[in-house]
Amino acid sequence: MLALVVLVAGGVMLSGAPQAPKSVDPNPPSVSASDPAASPAPDQPDVAAMAPRILSMPRIGISAPIGVSTVPGGVLTPPNDVKTVGIWRDGAALAADQGTTLLAGHVNMIGQGNGALFNLALMRPGDIIHTSDDAGRTTVWRVTRVVERPKADGVEESVLDGPTGPRRLAVVTCGGELTYDNGVGDYADNIYLYADAVA
């Protein structure tokens, strides 16, 4: 199994070429601050009409394309476009019958605004998620838990279970306090969402 040193699922880049200004909220919701009874989940999308490679989370109003997360130097890195989430290629494929499918996305980024997973911490156990594979076949998932974990404690190893074991979905982004090092912002925590396939 690939050992990932740090799971980087979002951050704020404050250096590089100037980009068109977009509003970035540096304070994504936290798991502990969100109210489980705040609002009912909205109506579910027509899953028969989903395009290929889409992540749909109706509670937080997300329908995001699924690209590829790369692992340069042992660090899981989502696609550069904050509106796209990435699948970890060493995990279970979207169409798999077993194993853990790991999706990661940026919480936000200067020049792009808030990412697709900005409100991930607002998801609740029991919420429904949909993913579609390369052929547009849809898998329905039910959220089992959402947790916030300090990056200093390392990666929650179960997200790296890969293509064997029980069928489940793991979705990861950044959260917690935003800190800066040499002009580059990074969040102190990761938000982990887990969901089981609905039979």
Amino acid (1-letter code) at residue 150: P
3-class DSSP state for residue 121?
helix
pLDDT in tens, 43-75: 444 555 578 999 999 999 999 999 999 888 888
Measured CA to CA, the distance from residue 162 to residue 160 in angstroms comes to 5
Q: Given a cut of 60, is residue 25 above it in pLDDT?
A: yes
Confidence of residue 193 (pLDDT cuts 50, 70, 90): very high
Say which residue, 29 or 143, is predicted with more confidence: 143
Q: How far is CA 64 from the centre of its chain?
A: 10
Residue 123: DSSP 8-state:
-
Measured CA to CA, the distance from residue 40 to residue 61 in angstroms comes to 12
Q: Given a cut of 90, is residue 94 above it in pLDDT?
A: yes
Measured CA to CA, the distance from residue 35 to residue 191 in angstroms comes to 16
Q: Are strands 128-132 and 168-181 parallel, antiparallel or unpaired?
A: unpaired
pLDDT in tens, 130-143: 999 999 999 999 99
Q: Which CATH number fits domain 50-197: 3.40.718.10, 3.90.1150.10, 3.40.50.300, 2.40.260.10?
A: 2.40.260.10
Count of CB atoms within 10 A of residue 155's CB? 18
Say which residue, 89 or 184, is predicted with more confidence: 89
Say which residue, 90 or 6, is predicted with more confidence: 90
User: pLDDT value at position 34?
Assistant: 45
